[in-house]
């Protein structure tokens, strides 16, 4: 499934970030492949907000469509 399909409150593990520049930027924020995050919210036709610990990060919907995730166990 892709990050834009995640429901609010759902915990997921990031599986793949295809774009190298986006992957590098995400790593700077402490979010990379293998990281478990929670969907903190979704704005209509807007960004997907993910949280990890005390940090929240808004990811544009177009980019969220390219980030593969799976349900965290």
* Domain of 30, in residue numbers: 3-71
How much is the pTM? Answer: 0.87
The alpha carbon torsion through 57, 58, 62, 67 (nearest 10 deg) reads 20
pLDDT at 18: 86
DSSP state of 9: T
39: domain CATH number is: 2.30.30.90
Give the tens place of pLDDT for each residue, 18-39: 889 888 888 888 889 999 999 9
Number of domains in the chain: 1
69: closest CA among 45, 55, 46, 52?
52
pLDDT at 27: 87
19: closest CA among 47, 60, 72?
60
Give the tens place of pLDDT for each residue, 36-71: 999 999 999 899 999 999 999 999 998 899 899 999
């Amino acid at each position: 499934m892709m990050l834009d399909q995640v429901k609010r409150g759902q915990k997921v593990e990031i599986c793949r970030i295809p774009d190298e520049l986006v992957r590098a930027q995400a790593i700077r924020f402490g979010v990379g492949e293998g990281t478990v995050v929670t969907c903190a919210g979704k704005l209509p036709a807007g960004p997907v907000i993910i949280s990890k610990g005390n940090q929240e990060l808004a990811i544009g919907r177009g980019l969220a469509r390219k980030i593969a995730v799976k349900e965290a166990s």
